Amino acid sequence: MALSPRRVRLRYFVAARSGVSRRAGARIRLMRHPEQHRTHRIGWLRAAVLGANDGIVSTASLIVGVAAADSSRSGVLVAGVAGLVAGAMSMAAGEYVSVSSQSDTERADLDRERRELAMDGKHEHAELAAIYVSRGLDVKLAGEVATQLMAKDALGAHARDELGISDTLSARPVQAALASAGSFAVGAAMPLLLVIMVPASALVWAVSGSSLLFLALLGSLAARAGGSPVWKSLVRVTFWGALAMALTAGVGALFGATL
Q: How confident is the model at residue 204 (pLDDT cuts 50, 70, 90)?
A: confident
Distance between CA atoms of 249 and 68, rounded to whole angstroms?
Answer: 6
Quickly list DSSP for 89-108.
HHHHHHHHHHHHHHHHHHHH
Residue 134 burial (10 A CB sphere; 0-12, 13-18, 19+): exposed
Amino acid at 136: G
- For residue 219, give Cα distances in angstroms to 84, 93, 145, 183, 232: 20, 24, 42, 13, 9
Distance between CA atoms of 44 and 61, rounded to whole angstroms?
Answer: 25
Higher pLDDT, 103 or 2: 103
- Give, for 114, the enclosing helix (H) or strand (E): helix 73-119
Please say if the pLDDT value at position 31 is more than 50: no
Q: Is this prediction's pTM over 0.85?
A: no
- pLDDT average, residue stretch 42-53: 69
- pLDDT average, residue stretch 58-70: 83
